[in-house]
Structure formats: structure tokens, C-alpha cells
Structure 1
């Protein structure tokens, strides 16, 4: 497979002003071909007749880039792809018009299946494990990131590393990504789980975005504020924690005496698969624009996340995000 590169932007990108607008660069080390089925009702052990699925080039970083691109912000999605699934991934992504750079690898790209039960609103996800990359392939992925950070025509405003790592990945992948961004003077967001989130915090990531399950598992603490502050103590500059229908929380090293919560008056029904990625996309756009206020970043992230729930698949949000933002209950709380 030859390298796939599409660095064209959206409407108006030919203007000098658009070229100078900082873009969101996302890195997805373990991408997947996402297949989403809408099922009237899932009956365990039964056969189900379903309509054709929604098939997309996916992975958390791809979803982040898709959402920002949908709203007209400049992006570049970087990912390794290979095999038959990789060819399908590349074809769909090219058709989507999302600017991207794909690194050809020998291992086949994994697949992910989401089953959305329309009866109870629950979504079940089946993720294949990612296949290992070679040392040379990891180096090519890193080189693509370095090139994106040094592009003067399309300057990077923020670097986002999202998702799990494939088998055999370098243990320092996310800390190295943070270092690359900081060396280029670019803020870095990391959205991962397990030891990776701890390593990214120690590396000084500008923003971490775990969900409540990932945060509890990583820190071994049931109290979410306490767990988030531990990540701050390790070195993270800001932490956004998503807690499903309960909304989201924001913590900042610049404001050690307080934190913020945001939620809708009532939870939304829909597909939450891409909600966290939409939140990261909002935070990434904000950082690229120079926004550093935790409450403002939280406001945007919560409304984009909620708007993603209203869509059938990950990687897009409803046009209602501005309406939802006006409904948010934003609360400032004191840290104990």
C-alpha cells in the first residue's frame, strides 16, 4: 500500500488567512474500521435482521478530527493503516474529505463493531485488539508527527494523541508525543487509559480526558475529584473527566482551590460512542485558538459531547450543540 496523504482543507482553505489558522493535529496509533449497526432490540441468543451498517474510518483521534472538520476547523489526522481493512479505511477517509496522512504498515488495521439497541438506548461495542507495528513503522509515524508540527503553511495549534495502543507499542509513546509537541511550542492533549494516562501526566500533558471508569481504574480512587487532582500532582496541566449522564468536570493546575462541573438538566438518549471524542475535539479547538480558561473549555466540551449522543455514529455532532450549551448547568466548586 502506498502512503495516503490528503492535506486539502475545507471550504475557503485556499485563502492565506485559512492557511494561517492553527490546525488540530490528531494521532491515532491504533485506528479501526468502525461498523455501527442500529438494532430495533437486541435479544440475547437470537438472530437479528438489521439495515445496512454505517462504516467509517475510525479510532478516537479520527473521531476528534472528523468533528472539528465538520464544524469548519482545520485539521490533520495521522494514523498507520495496513491490509484489506486498511485499504477500506483509506478509501472511506479520502471520500470524507477530512485532511489526513496515513502511514502504510504491514499489519492489518483492526475492526470495531457497535450495536445500538433502539429499544433501551444501550450501545454494545466489540473492539479487536490492534496488531503490532515494526520499529521502522513507529519511526515513520513519529516522523509524520514532527513534519506536521514544523509545517509553516499549516501551523499546528494543538497536538492530540487518542486511543489505545496496539500490541508491542513503545511504552513511552504518549510521553514522547507530549515531548514532541512541547518542543514545537504546541499544547498536547492525551486521551487514553491505564498506564498510558499516568505516563502522559508525568510528561506534563496540557490536558487529559479520561472518563470516570478510566480515571478510577488508573488512580485506584473512587472519589473522582481526588483522582483528578492526583493526575494534576503527577504533572498534568488540566484534566477533563466525563461521567456519562452526570456530565463533565474540569480541573486545572492553575486553579488548585476549585474545579467546575457541567451537565444538562436531563440526560439525552442516543448513541454515546463518540461523545468523549467530541469533548476532546472541542477542547482541542479551544486550545488551538488560545483558550485556556477551564470553565470555557468545559462548557464547549460538554455541549459538543452531548450533541454527539444525538448522532447515529461516532465522529459527528448535532447542529444543536449551541442550543445545548445554553442549557448547561455550570457550577464552580471548592476543592477539599
Structure 2
């Protein structure tokens, strides 16, 4: 089983229109709204591809019923907290091939919430093949929450993946995260290194294992600790909505690691292919059925660093 933790879940809405004219009024089709947050999206993709998963998240009581209803039969442990969920809005412009995302920061949860999240993970450690901690952290949460979750699983011998940003990326590395998946901007902001390889090595110097770096249209880079650098590129740039590509890539990596496979090429190939397949879907949390064909279209190269 692959367990995902989403500290800052949301109700995600996607609006699609031809082109956004700033400052003007637009008439659009109804927004598509679904339960979201990065870890929730990871669990959705894993479930879609037939992998056993469970999603853990603190969810605002005002929106808990809607959140549960939208998740459907995806196994979850939803911890009620007072108030509403945060909201996010993705504005997809089809003619411009551009997506604009507006994310609320989230709301302060009661102090005991984070002990409940840790307990939910701790009680399932014997069944977990991989722990994924993914997404932003809401205001008021302990600065150590990502590191605490990673350390909890790492100490138990459970492989860990963290998709975090800022200081949480650094603390996850120090806690022994087996895999970190920043994008190029997040990596530079966290480490101060403009070069992705230098940033990846900085995270490894802090204690992390494999680093996967999303490079957008330039593909994905994998930096293991053995001194090599791997790169996966697709034979064409895919048009679509890139909002959930990073989450799908994490799901791809987790599906390989959770099966007990540590081969960098296998992890990189699956992650890059599922990330690309997510671009072809209108909402985050799903991937196109042709993901296996996309994986065959990847070119993998390697070099020494």
C-alpha cells in the first residue's frame, strides 16, 4: 500500500475558456470542482492505475461531505477540522496553451490536528510500502511536520517521497527522505543554487537520496547519489493542462518504489511518462490511458557529474 499525506487539501476548481482577457467579463462553462491537494491527486492517479493506496488529510468540516463524495471509493482517512476547506482555481486558456492557478494559503487547524496525522501514519506503518508527503503546509502547522512524517517512516524502514518546497524541502532532506521531487524553481528557491544539478547535490549533502527535478517542457532529471545524472525527454511537447503533472510524476515514482524496485531508470521513466500523461487530462488527479505508450517514447540519457 502507498500512503499519501496531504497537509493542506483543497477543493480544486478548473475553468476552461478560449483566452483570458484581463479586466474583462467572461461567460464560461461551469467550473469542474473536485477534492484536491497534491497528495490527494497522487492517490487518485495511483488508484486509477490499480495501485493500493490510502490518502490521509485534515479536512474542513464545512466541506467534508463534498470532499468524501468526490473521492468516491478511493480509500482515505479524513480528519475533520473546524471551518471550510481552502479553494484553488485553475484557469485554462485553450488557444494560448496557458494555465493560471490561484491557490488559497489554507486555514489554521487546531494544534492537536498534527498529532492525529502522525498517529494515522504510525498506525499503518506495517502495511505501507511507500509514504508520500506532498504539497504545501497550511499556516499554523509545525515547521517540522514534513520532516516528522518523513522521519517516522524512515525510522521504520519505509521508503519515503516528499514533494515539498522552501524550508520543508530542506528539512525533509535532513530527515532522510529517500526521494525528493522539486521543480526547477522550487529547487533554486530552497537551495539558492540556480543550476538544478548543484541544487540536487545540495539536498543530498543535507541527507536526501534520489532527487527528481521537473524541468517542464525540458523533461525530467534524476540525480542519484552514485555520481551519475539521468535525463528523460519526450519526443514532442504535449499541449494541455500541466497543473497536475508533478503530482502524477510523484505517483509514478511511488508506484515503482512501492513495488520494491530501486532502479533509477525505472523510477525516472515511470515518473516522466505519468507526468506527461497528466498534461493530456483536463483536471489534476488523472492521467491519460496512453501513459505506457508515452513511456516508450521517452529518451533516457546519462552522464557523470
Please indicate the TM-score interval, normalised by the length of the shorter structure.
over 0.9
Distance of 1:100 and 1:83 partners within structure 2: 15
Whether the 8 Å CA contact 1:228–1:239 is kept in 2: the answer is yes
Structure 2 equivalent of residue 259 of structure 1: 229
Does 25-34 or 44-53 show the bigger shift? 44-53
Q: Residue 290 of structure 2 corresponds to which residue in structure 1?
A: 320
Structure 2 CA distance for aligned equivalents of residues 88 and 290 of structure 1: 35
Question: Is 1:40–2:10 an aligned residue pair?
Answer: no
Work out whether residues 62 and 83 of structure 2, in 8 Å CA contact, stay in contact via their aligned partners in 1.
Answer: no
Which residue matches 2:74?
98
In structure 2, the partner of 1:168 is 140
Q: Quote how far apart the aligned CAs of 1:293 are.
A: 1.2
Distance 1:138 1:176 in 2: 10
The one-character-per-residue Cα deviations of 1:119-152 (angstroms, maximum 9, x if unpaired) are 11100001011111122121111111111213xx
What is the TM-score when the length of structure 1 is the normalising length?
Answer: 0.89
Q: Which of 128, 138, 150 is the matching residue for 2:104?
A: 128
Alpha carbon RMSD of aligned pairs, Å? 1.0
Provide the secondary structure at the position in 2 that maps to 1:135: coil
Could you tell me which residue of structure 2 aligns to residue 269 of structure 1? 239
Deviations along 1:227-263, one digit per CA (max 9) or x if unpaired, are 111111111011000010000000112x12x110001
Q: TM-score, normalised by structure 2?
A: 0.98
SS of the residue 1:285 aligns to: helix
Which consecutive unaligned segments of at least 5 residues does structure 1 have?
Answer: 1-22
Query: What is the distance in 1 between the residues matched to 2:124 and 2:258?
Result: 14
* CA displacement, residues 26-59 of structure 1 (integer Å, 9 cap, x when unaligned): 0000000000111121111111111122211000
| 1:303-318 to 2 correspondences below 5 Å | 303-318=273-288
Gap regions ≥5 residues in structure 2? none
Structure 2 residue matching 1:333: 3-state secondary structure: strand
Structure 1 residues 239-248 or 78-87, which shifts more?
78-87
2:79 is the alignment partner of 1:79: no
CA drift of 1:108 comes to 2.2
For residue 278 of structure 1, report the CA deviation from its aligned partner: 0.4
1:116-265 equivalences under 5 Å are 116-150=92-126, 155-253=127-225, 255-256=226-227, 258-265=228-235
Partner-residue secondary structure (3-state), 2:129:
strand
